[in-house]
Amino acid sequence: MKKTTKLGSLAAAVAVVSLMASCQDKEKTAGAVKPAATEVSSSEKIVYVNSDSLLSKYQYFKDLKVRMDGKAKKAEQDVQSKGQAFQREVAQYQAQQSTLPADQRAATEERLGRKQQEFQAYQQNAAAALQNEQNSENVKLYDKIADYLKGYAKKKGYKMVLTYAKGNSAILFADESLDVTNEVINGLNEDYKK
């Protein structure tokens, strides 16, 4: 189980959510992200959010990443532990194989074959369970961001919010005055603290 695959799907979910992103124009405490140097005019109808920054600064996403990384590591350790136990059992059989009668060898090989199939099924189920949980968390993340952004876009009168991600964006150029990323991050983090 690769962490990049798991986190990649979270990144993809946030990137999709960023399409509907909007901003909140508030300066907060010392720990808040500084707003962009230029303010977005309320007459602007299209703005954008940098999804890379959103991912790196949104506390809910950071907490989710830590939680999912922990679960992935625990699942990986569990599968690895079961795999090592099975390998020890196979090695033990191989060491004793020549001293066992034929019927006992056949029964042991059959039992080890079933155990191998059970282990493979366990491994696949563990990966599927982790992926299902990851997908569920992606939906929650998407909903959380989308709900915030829908309300704020309506309040500000924005008609469209685009997403920008370095190296993976449909936006080739946008004036920095249209970047509402920091304000969105501040608003999302405020809501998350509540």
Q: What is the DSSP string of 110-136?
A: HHHHHHHHHHHHHHHHHHHHHHHHHHH
Q: Please list, in sequence order, all residues whose beta carbon lies within 8 angstroms of the beta carbon of residue 109, skipping any fewer than 6 positions away.
A: 93
| Contact present, 59 and 194 (Cβ < 8 Å) | no
Distance from CA of residue 43 to its chain's centroid?
35
What SS3 state is found at 160?
A: strand
Q: Say what the pLDDT of residue 18 is.
A: 39
- Cα dihedral: 73, 134, 140, 144 (round 10): 60
E strand map for the chain: 46-50, 160-164
Tokens of 117: 């199939």
Q: Say what the pLDDT of residue 41 is.
A: 59
- How far apart (Å, rounded) are the C-alpha atoms in residues 185 and 53? 8
Q: Say what the pLDDT of residue 40 is.
A: 58
Q: State the residue range of the domain holding 10.
A: 3-193
Q: Say what the pLDDT of residue 17 is.
A: 39
Task: Domain count for the chain, please give it.
Answer: 1
Name the residue type at position 173. F
Structure letter (DSSP) for residue 40: P
* Neighbour-count burial of 180, counting CB atoms closer than 10 A to its CB (0-12 exposed, 13-18 middle, 19+ buried): buried
Walk along the chain (194 residues) and give the pLDDT tens digit of each residue.
444 444 344 444 343 333 333 333 333 333 444 554 456 555 668 888 888 898 899 999 999 999 999 999 999 999 999 999 999 999 999 999 999 999 999 999 999 999 999 999 999 999 999 999 999 999 999 899 888 888 878 888 888 888 888 887 788 888 888 889 999 999 999 999 98
